[in-house]
A and B are shown apart, each in its own frame.
Chain A
Amino acid sequence: MTNHLLGLLVVIPMATSVVSVALVGRHRPQRVLGVLSLGSMLLLSLRWLLEIRDGDVLVSQMGAWPAPFGITLVFDSLSGLLICAGLVVALGCYVHGFSTLSPETERRYFHPLAQLLMVGVNQCFLTGDLFNLFVGFEIMLMASYGLLSIGGSRRQMGQAYKYLVLNLVASTVFVISAGLVYGMLGTLNLADLARIVSGRVASGEGLPTGFVAVSVLLLFVFGAKGAMFPLWFWLPDTYHTPPVAVAALFSGLLTKVGVYAVARTFPLVFAVGEARDVVIPLLVVSAGVTMFLGVLGAVSQHNVRRILAIHVISQVGYMVFGLSMMTTAGLAGALYYMVQHMVVKSSLFLCCGVMERHTGSDDLDKVGGLLRRDTFLGVSFFVAAMSLVGLPPLSGFFGKLVLIREGWGIHWWLSVIALLTGALTLLSMLKVWTTGFWLPPGSETSTPTGEPGGLRGAYVGIGFLVITALFIGLAAEPIYDIAFHAGEQLTDPTVYIEAVDPHGLVASLGGSG
């Protein structure tokens, strides 16, 4: 189905970003504009998600250029779910920022940069073309470099470079591999690539020389962006230094775009034929190590923000676990897990922000007894933490259930690692809960830095995300159905290829000439 309005998901935040540059220094209009932009995009994408719940695919060809020549935007089950989740996260963090960001940060272009981040994220999710994926990545990263160095304290500066240089190198490798793909197959449109690659494998012609090398290069690129096993070192420090609303936004969006890129391109193009035998073992090993070492790192920490940040790594491992199976249910489980993880993880970071406001610290030695002081915060944190762990009625349970059950028949030892990781996650979440919220504060509690008032925005943000997380858990079936359609479309790409129709033009030219 064609839907020419898909471009709005990129145009709206872009326009908002430009307008709010002009409004810098005037917080109120900027905030209203930002909420309007994110809210309208959320409503639009929810509407489209309902439209495609039976497995349809919405496609828009920019400028009416036919598929392999122009830019294609695709809104299918995979990108639709992730766009909705991303916008929910963005809205929650944005509203939370109203009460936790310093006026200084807001004046330093927080609003334009946050909108620009959404331009990049939405473009990555929507695009149906490898080079545009690169452009989307770059826009997102530019905005994130800016957000990361806002305020520019000494520590932030030191950490910003690690993130900046790693991502620049990864992006350069991405450009080179996109060029190599074009040199080998003569197209960059994902649907067209999928058609050519599967055709060559089916006809026994085989893949061009070096195709496997390009697959591995791309795995490096997406692994670096998604913080998979050997390339995760930038993550804990990056999420530790910026203002909490920014850290929450990053935790919900950045790594997930990397994982999405693997989910989009690998089953379709780069893990087909011989490449599959090379890529799958890499993914499997990376998944196991990422899951387990990530959670071990988190257990050893004593600082709430660090615990949460290192848990992001461990949960990226779960998603890669799902991807590495390359079966319908495995991919669907990974997608469902990703959606709930984005919402839950950001809400935990936002809770941590309020905790810092109350006590002036996120060090577990210095906080305590928060449940009595702020019941709303305590309850929200508990619900979100238990969703992360995967307690039955909550959202994390269904994601892990699908992954572990599906994985049992394929790599049983990965399922064992996943279960063990779940137990250790419970341990570290309970550590935060008991020392931070349940037990009375220790002797050396620090005093709050700011005035405790004016947390309305923060509560609205947290409440919105926690309610969404509860909804994802309680309405697991309809959401999982959409995820299952996504899994089907990834394992059998004919629907995707036919929707984009990259050889429609070629066929019509051949017919007329």
Chain B
Amino acid sequence: MTTVLAICVTVMVTVSVYLMLSRELKSIAMGVFLLGHGANLAILAMSGSPVLPWGGLRQPAILGGEHLVDALPQALILTAIVINFAVMGFFLTLLIVTARKTGTLNVDELAGEEPPRSSPELVSEPAPAAGLETPRVAD
């Protein structure tokens, strides 16, 4: 059981890292949310396998019984889910506002068009292009 959980966590974290490396804010947001879910599954694994080594299952505390599942990690997950949910709401709202204001959700375009004060040397451009542009400005 724990192995299955471990594989799930690995897959989710891998996918989320892939998504977060993208230049699109939408994908980054999805990556962040997925990472949160992966973390919750990882905590779930901390309450131990529900399958006992000598056969049989651990019972939830509410049902009673001899072998109980540790409920605390589940309480932690519940808290983490609530917080994740709030953050998700904020992130998505920010995405919508940004898209309305700037018309783009691409990281490069958002960072690229600074107000005119930031002079050309601050904008990271390949060196040859900058060199080509200089004489034209001089004209």
Query: Residues of A at under 8 Å CB distance from B?
Result: 131, 135, 138, 142, 145-146, 149, 152, 154-155, 157-158, 160-161, 164-165, 168-169, 172-173, 175-176, 178-180, 182-183
Assess whether B32 is in contact with A165, with CB atoms less than 8 Å apart: yes
Contacts of B86 in A (CB 8 A): 142
Q: Does B97 sit at the interface, judged by CB under 8 A?
A: yes
Q: Indicate if B111 sits at the interface (CB-CB under 8 A).
A: yes
Question: Is there an interface contact between A182 and B101, defined as CB atoms closer than 8 Å?
Answer: no
* A-facing residues in B96-138 (Cβ within 8 Å): 97-98, 101-102, 107, 110-111, 113-115
Q: Which residue from chain B places its CB closest to the CB of A179 in the assembled complex?
A: B43
The reply to whether B43 and A175 form a contact with Cβ atoms under 8 Å apart is: yes
- B 23-42 to A, binary, CB cutoff 8 A, 1 in contact else 0: 00100100010011011101
Secondary structure type dominating chain B contacts? helix
Tell whether A161 pairs with B107 under 8 Å between CB atoms, given A131-B79, A135-B83, A179-B73.
yes
Q: Which residue of A lies closest to B98 (CB)?
A: A157
Among A158, A160, A173, A179, the residue within 8 A (CB) of B76 is A179
- Which positions 18-62 of chain B face chain A at CB distance < 8 Å? 20, 25, 28, 32, 35-36, 38-40, 42-43, 45-46
* 18 CB < 8 A contacts A-B: A135-B79, A154-B110, A155-B115, A157-B97, A157-B102, A158-B111, A160-B94, A161-B28, A168-B32, A168-B35, A168-B91, A172-B39, A175-B43, A176-B39, A176-B42, A178-B76, A180-B42, A182-B46
The interface residues of chain A lying within 8 Å CB-to-CB of B36 are 168, 172, 175
Q: Is B69 an interface residue (CB 8 A)?
A: no
Contact A179 B32 (CB under 8 A): no
Chain A residue at smallest Cβ distance from B79: A135
Do the beta carbons of A179 and B110 come within 8 Å of each other? no
Are A182 and B28 in contact, with the CB atoms below 8 A?
no
Nearest CB on B from A63, distance (A): 14
Q: Which 4 A-B pairs have the closest CB atoms?
A: A179-B43, A183-B46, A158-B110, A175-B39
User: With the chains together, A160 CA to B40 CA distance in Å?
Assistant: 25
Task: Give the complex CA separation of A202 and B116 in angstroms.
Answer: 63
Number of B positions contacting A (CB below 8 A):
34
Instruction: Determine whether the beta carbon of B76 is less than 8 Å from that of A154.
Output: no
**Is A142 a contact partner of B87 (Cβ separation < 8 A)?**
yes
Interface centre among A135, A155, A161 (most CB of B within 10 A): A161
**Judging by beta carbons under 8 Å apart, are A179 and B39 in contact?**
yes
In the assembled complex, the CB of B109 is this many whole angstroms from the nearest CB of chain A, namely 9
| B-side contacts of A138, CB under 8 Å | 83, 87
- Bound: A43/B72 CA distance, A: 37
A161 lies within 8 A of B90 (CB): no
Could you tell me the distance between the alpha carbons of A484 and B25 in the complex, rounded to whole angstroms?
47
Shortest Cβ distance from B80 into A: residue: A175
Q: Roughly how many angstroms separate A169 CA and B34 CA in the complex, as a whole number?
A: 11
CA distance A178 to B102 in the complex (A): 38
Taking A157-B94, A157-B102, A180-B46 as given, write out 7 further A-B residue pairs in contact, using a Cβ cutoff of 8 Å, ordered by the A residue number. A131-B79, A138-B83, A157-B97, A158-B110, A165-B20, A179-B43, A182-B76
* Residues B35 and A182 in contact, CB atoms below 8 Å apart: no
Q: Which residue of A lies closest to B91 (CB)?
A: A164
Which single residue of chain A is at the shortest CB-CB distance from B112?
A158
Set B43, B90, B113: member contacting A176, Cβ < 8 A: B43
Chain A residue contacts of B114, Cβ below 8 A: 155
* Contacting pair A161 B25 (CB below 8 A): yes
The distance in angstroms between the C-alpha atoms of A179 and B79, with both chains bound, is 12
CA distance A138 to B84 in the complex (A): 9
Given contacts A168-B87, A172-B39, contact A149 B76 (CB under 8 A): no
Q: Quick check: B46 and A172 within 8 Å, CB to CB?
A: no
Query: Smallest CB-CB separation from A180: which chain B residue?
Result: B46
Q: Which among A160, A180, A183 has the greatest number of chain B C-beta atoms within 10 A?
A: A183
Shortest Cβ distance from residue A242 to the other chain B in the assembled complex, whole angstroms: 14
Contact in complex: A154, B101 (CB < 8 Å): yes
A178 to B39 CA separation, bound complex (whole angstroms):
10
CB atoms of A172 and B111 under 8 A apart? no
The answer on a CB contact under 8 Å between B32 and A142 is no
Q: Quick one: which of A138, A160, A179, A180 has the most chain B CB within 10 A?
A: A179
Given contacts A142-B86, A165-B20, contact A157 B79 (CB under 8 A): no
Q: Is the CB of A169 within 8 A of B35?
A: yes
Q: Which of B25, B35, B90, B94 contacts A142 (CB 8 A)?
A: B90
Chain B residues closer than 8 Å to A169, beta-carbon distance: 20, 32, 35
* Residues of chain B within 8 A of A173, CB atoms compared: 39
Q: Which residues of B contact A155 (CB under 8 A)?
A: 114-115
Residue of B nearest to A141 (CB): B87
**Bound Cα distance from A294 to B101, whole angstroms:** 34
A354 to B72, CA, bound (A): 50
Q: Which residues on the B side are within 8 Å of A176 (C-beta)?
A: 39, 42-43
Q: Tell me the bound Cα distance from A149 to B98 in angstroms.
A: 10
Do B101 and A157 touch across chains, with their CB atoms under 8 A apart? yes
Nearest B residue to A138 via CB reads: B83
